[in-house]
Amino acid sequence: MSSPTTTRPRSVVARLALAAVLAAGGVLAGPAGVAQAASPYERGPAPTTAILEASRGPFATASQSVSSLSVVGFGGGVIYYPTSTSEGTFGAIAISPGFTASWSSISWLGPRIASHGFVVIGIETNTRLDQPDSRGRQLLAALDYLTERSSVRSRIDSSRLAVAGHSMGGGGSLEAASSRPSLQAAVPLAPWNTDKSWSELRVPTLIIGGESDSVAPVATHSVPFYNSIPASAEKAYLELNGASHFFPQTTNTPTARQMVAWLKRFVDDDTRYEQFLCPGPSGSQIQEYRNTCPSA
């Protein structure tokens, strides 16, 4: 992991600047004094629970395969992206599967997230046995490919990037966030890693764990990971009631809802999604939810 850094992610700086303007009674304005959205990166309609819980978001999407022979640093994968070009560029996220798994094991996440206005690359790892540190480097290599060489690079804002992953891929997303503090968000799902302390993280991080996970028990993985991340980085922990280690391998509405809301809030600086983070989700599917509210 990299050494601690005091570099603030762009989204944090933007939020502080926005708070200062609003506290002073200011109004963000565009040409000729026309009021503008709080964030220039807002994409799509005003969010609702129904939109977040639907099987697809408001954007039509397309996908394309990426051959391992055409990339360096990771094993290829699949890119999902909004087909619209009328709303400007989009943020992007790279997602890694877990130990011994292929992207197909969690591929439902690709079109689901892309349909809310993100470019997504679901990666294949160099080998199925790659450890979290390797998966972290591969996630960053995939982001570099997306923004520098992919056919969809013109659709992406390279300053608004995120990582996620399942199991060792989730542990890899922590490694990537540690190595590249300029990332705007990280979402580890049932993360596994032998390193339990992430006090150097400065990237807004949502960890989602399963109450009944016996592979990466939350008591020895997700919870200590969450506790070790400084509150100044912005963090949240969602624990799913009765869920096993493999909850991301089938369509999971609480996971999708919270993941999209987190990405919209921190990658897009879209404060319209704050309502889904603070106070956060509740109900029979939720065992526990913690957050460093308020994040605005």
Residue positions annotated with a catalytic role: 167, 213, 245
Residues forming beta bridges with residue 94, ordered by sequence position: 121, 163
Three-class SS of residue 235?
A: strand
Cβ–Cβ < 8 Å for 249, 277: no
C-alpha distances in angstroms, 189 versus 159, 205, 217? 23, 11, 12
C-alpha distances in angstroms, 216 versus 70, 231, 262? 34, 23, 23
Tokens read off for 190 = 């049932």
Cα–Cα distance, 189 to 186 (Å, whole number): 10
Cβ–Cβ < 8 Å for 96, 152: no
Three-class SS of residue 188?
A: strand
Cβ–Cβ < 8 Å for 91, 162: yes
76: left (phi over 0), alpha (psi -120 to 50) or beta: left
Cβ–Cβ < 8 Å for 293, 236: no
Contacts of 284 (CB under 8 A, 6+ apart): 241
Cβ–Cβ < 8 Å for 143, 186: no
CA atoms within 13 A on the CB side of 140: 17
